[in-house]
Chain A
Amino acid sequence: MTDSVLYSVLLLASLGVVAALVLYIVSKKFYVYENPLIGEVDEILPGANCAGCGSPGCKSFAEKLVNTEDISELFCPVGGNDVMKQVAALLGKEVAEKDPTVAVLRCQGGCDVRPKTTEYQGPRTCAISAMVYSGETDCQYGCLGDGDCVAVCDFDAMYMDEATGLPVIDTDKCTSCGACVKACPRDIIEMRPRNKRDLKIFVGCLNEDKGGIAKKSCAVACIGCSKCEDICPKDAVTMENNLAYIDAALCTLCRKCVEVCPTHSIIETNFPPKKPKKVVEKKPVVKKVVEKTEVEKVAVVKEQVVAKVESENPKTDA
């Protein structure tokens, strides 16, 4: 009895020793030298492997950082300036500071303001439906609503709003890795600077059609009226192909353009409520804005816009 116990213990122990030896020899024999700095840099990096920096993963980005002389061109959008500074300190190299950015959706054409005129059947991915035709609505520039951007987001920072059929970006979670920008066949997602307290002003439309046609297809489309361009004190607004664009570098967030836009296609986010005097009926909605989280604020702004458009222009396509 004791013999058999002893034998099995011995056998197993010796097997273990042999296996350990083999492992040891193999690990020595096939050891690949790697710059220890790469491991250290990799530790600092966020480890999300999102490929937002252009490298396929954090490890390869770390290698690139270690092996490149001048790393001022390289940037980890997820880690931001903090991480890059740490890396620079570790490697003794210079990095360029970049303004933190966040993804914004440049389309507000929800189901309620942009009516569907056809029905698409086929695989529900934006990439394929964009190949078939210009989309279910009459606007061939706006969101297709099949959520390719949501599918590629590794940070759970996007979801589809069932009511509007548009994706919503959670700015707290967005790391500005840029995956959604690449996935969108319509290029409606743009990386814009976060600014202070995440205040942003941008044109929420990409429709290049002439005013009448644009308005007919979508109530909140930019109609290219140039009012914003005229009023902007800093010349931050440019008009091209019947479409306004706000240059974030020049914009001082004065919000004058938001006020003049007749179709409310210019979006402001996270601003404190306006003086209530201006639009009286807006008051209850404005109050809500204060309580809502950042994400929802965008949606609320949109709601206001819709409400206002409808009340002001009952016959939109006249």
Chain B
Amino acid sequence: MSQPIIVSASPHVHSDRTSKKLMYDVVIALIPAFLVSLYVFGIGAFIVTAAAVISCIVFEYLIQKFLLKSEVTIGDGSALITGMLLAFNLPSGIPIWMIIVGSLFAIGVGKLSFGGLGFNIFNPALVGRVFLLISFPVQMTTWPTAIENQTVLADAVTGATPLGLIKEGLMFGETMTNISANLPSNLEMFLGLSGGSIGEMSALALLIGGIYLLARKVITWHIPITMLVTMAVMTGIFWLINPESYASPLIHILSGGALLGAFYMATDLVTSPMTKKGMVIFAIGIAVITVVIRLFGAYPEGVSFAILIMNAFVPLINTYFKPRRFGSKIKAKIV
């Protein structure tokens, strides 16, 4: 024994899970959706994603090194995820300087101002996204349509997202039957051949990544399944009441950020509740707010807002939905 014996308190073994591994598992899960976006939007998607990822990591480094003078933690993968998720929530034609501003806001305000990884209340990527959406509504909702502009970046032909089409159509008093003529088919939406943000294109790709996360036990089923089921039930009720003014649950689930939000953003470890009961409540809350915004609000899409609003309730949920303590119910079972 050349080195001294180590003495520490039990336990003396540790599982091989580390936070770094968890983070990189999320990155791996995002790859299928990224590949689909490359196929659909071409080089534009790559540029947006790269810009967001690089600027997130650079800003984290600069702020930690020079402003906070704390330990630099860019290696833990969390800034990488923030960058990827932010990019996935942007249209592919957005100017790069906006991405940089959004990344600065996401990392600086959304994450590091709270004290860094683990202390942030809101999902940093969504903080950045919503900041951009409110500041630059036009650029943020200009969606280059799929296929046609695989190589061109700016001045591309633009179109609306399925949800945008529905909202607009309903506002002008059209019926769903008329609108659905312009909508991509369910299959197209499932595969990812409609307009929208980079990462929310293909339901299939997102599902593959989601299943990977579930299989690796990075996330549990509680949030995504509860959220999607609640959304389906709520939109289903409205759809059954009046199919002419409300879109079908399938459209709601497959389009927009529902799947991206359910599997990747609502499940963010840091900003979701820590008990299973809490997770179910949290997911129901997101679904209800999303549906209310989508059906009755001014925005066609509401997942980002819903998640941010519910993020704010997480400390409350953690306080009131505690796991049941062993032995707290005393039942006289003695024979």
Give the B-binding residues of A (Cβ under 8 A). 116-122, 128, 131-133, 136
Please determine whether B9 and A119 come into contact, CB atoms closer than 8 angstroms. no
B173 contacts partner chain A, Cβ-Cβ < 8 Å: no
Q: In the complex, what residues of A have CB within 8 A of residue B8's CB?
A: 120-122, 132
Apart from A120-B8, A132-B9, what are 20 other A-B pairs with CB-CB below 8 Å? Answer: A116-B4, A117-B4, A117-B5, A118-B6, A118-B7, A119-B3, A119-B5, A119-B6, A119-B7, A120-B6, A120-B7, A121-B6, A121-B7, A121-B8, A128-B9, A131-B9, A132-B7, A133-B7, A136-B4, A136-B7
A120 to B8, CA, bound (A): 6
Please determine whether B5 and A118 come into contact, CB atoms closer than 8 angstroms. yes
CB distance from B51 to the nearest CB of A (A): 41
Please determine whether B4 and A118 come into contact, CB atoms closer than 8 angstroms. yes
A132 to B5, CA, bound (A): 14
CB nearest to B10 among chain A residues: A132
A131 to B3, CA, bound (A): 23
A172 to B4, CA, bound (A): 39
Give the A-binding residues of B (Cβ under 8 A). 3-9
Q: In the complex, what residues of B have CB within 8 A of residue A122's CB?
A: 8-9
A132 to B6, CA, bound (A): 12
CB distance from B2 to the nearest CB of A (A): 12
A73 to B263, CA, bound (A): 67
A121 to B7, CA, bound (A): 6
CB distance from B275 to the nearest CB of A (A): 25
CB nearest to A117 among chain B residues: B4
CB distance from A124 to the nearest CB of B (A): 12
CB distance from B30 to the nearest CB of A (A): 35
Q: Would you give 23 A-B contacts (Cβ < 8 Å), ordered by A? A: A116-B4, A117-B5, A118-B4, A118-B5, A118-B6, A119-B3, A119-B4, A119-B6, A119-B7, A120-B6, A120-B8, A121-B6, A121-B7, A121-B8, A122-B8, A128-B9, A131-B9, A132-B7, A132-B8, A132-B9, A133-B7, A136-B4, A136-B7
Q: In the complex, what residues of B have CB within 8 A of residue A118's CB?
A: 4-7
Q: In the complex, what residues of A have CB within 8 A of residue B3's CB?
A: 119
Q: In the complex, what residues of B have CB within 8 A of residue A120's CB?
A: 6-8
Q: In the complex, what residues of B have CB within 8 A of residue A121's CB?
A: 6-8
A277 to B9, CA, bound (A): 53
7 nearest CB pairs, A to B: A121-B8, A119-B4, A122-B8, A132-B9, A119-B6, A118-B7, A118-B5
A117 to B7, CA, bound (A): 10
CB distance from B187 to the nearest CB of A (A): 56
A119 to B7, CA, bound (A): 6
A118 to B7, CA, bound (A): 7
CB nearest to B6 among chain A residues: A119
A119 to B5, CA, bound (A): 6
CB distance from A253 to the nearest CB of B (A): 41
Q: In the complex, what residues of A have CB within 8 A of residue B7's CB?
A: 118-121, 132-133, 136
A136 to B5, CA, bound (A): 10
Q: In the complex, what residues of A have CB within 8 A of residue B6's CB?
A: 118-121
A131 to B10, CA, bound (A): 12
Q: In the complex, what residues of B have CB within 8 A of residue A132's CB?
A: 7-9
- Which of B3, B5, B7, B9 gathers most chain A CB within 10 Å? B7
A276 to B263, CA, bound (A): 80
Q: In the complex, what residues of A have CB within 8 A of residue B9's CB?
A: 122, 128, 131-132
Q: In the complex, what residues of B have CB within 8 A of residue A117's CB?
A: 4-5
A131 to B7, CA, bound (A): 12
CB distance from A145 to the nearest CB of B (A): 15
CB distance from B41 to the nearest CB of A (A): 49
A118 to B3, CA, bound (A): 9
A141 to B47, CA, bound (A): 63
Q: In the complex, what residues of B have CB within 8 A of residue A116's CB?
A: 4
A136 to B3, CA, bound (A): 13
CB nearest to B8 among chain A residues: A121
A158 to B304, CA, bound (A): 51
CB distance from B7 to the nearest CB of A (A): 5
A120 to B5, CA, bound (A): 9
CB nearest to A128 among chain B residues: B9
Q: In the complex, what residues of A have CB within 8 A of residue B4's CB?
A: 116-119, 136
A133 to B9, CA, bound (A): 9
